[in-house]
Amino acid sequence: HREMSWQDYVDKQLVGTGHVSKAAIVGLDGTTWAASGGFAVSQAEGKTLAAAFNDPSTAFSSGVHVAGVKYMTIKADNRSLYGKKGPGGCACVKTNQAVLIGVYDETIQPGQCATVVERLGDYLIENNY
C-alpha cells in the first residue's frame, strides 16, 4: 500500500471525481502542498483562508479569495467555507494541518463539489492530517 501524495489527492480524490473542476491543498501557513495545473493559490490567499476558519465572520465581510477570484461567502464555520461566483463556486474544508479547496464550474452541482471536498476532509482528519 503506497502512501498517496498530496498531488494524488488533488488529481484523483478531488478533480478525478468529476465533481470538482480545480483543486488545491494548502497548509495552514498558506503554503501550497498540491494544486491542479494552472490553479495557483497565493500564500497570502492561503493564509487568509486558513485564518477565516478561526473567525468565520471575516469570510462573510470580505469574501473568499482563491487563485485571484473573489467568491461571495454563502457558508462559513470552523470547518467549511463555501463561496459562490456566478454559476460556479468553491468549497473549502479545514483539516488539522491543511485547507482543501475545491472549485466547481457551471457543469457541476454545488452540493456534489461540497460533498467530495467534505468527504476527503473527513478522511484526512481521521488520519491526523
Report which secondary-structure segment, H or E, holds 40.
none
Closest of 64, 102, 59, 68 to residue 84, by C-alpha: 64
Q: What is the pLDDT of residue 108?
A: 97
Q: What is the pLDDT of residue 50?
A: 97
Residue range 82-124, pLDDT digits in tens: 999 999 999 999 999 999 999 999 999 999 999 999 999 999 9
Predicted TM-score (pTM) of the model is: 0.96
* Residues whose CB falls within 8 Å of the CB of residue 120, separated by 6 or more in sequence, listed in order: 9, 13, 14, 93, 100
List the end-to-end C-alpha distance of the chain, in Å, as a whole number: 18
Residue range 56-79, pLDDT digits in tens: 999 999 999 999 999 999 999 999
Q: Which residue has the cell 498517496?
A: 4
What percent of the chain is helix, strand and coil (3-state, nearest 5)?
35, 30, 35
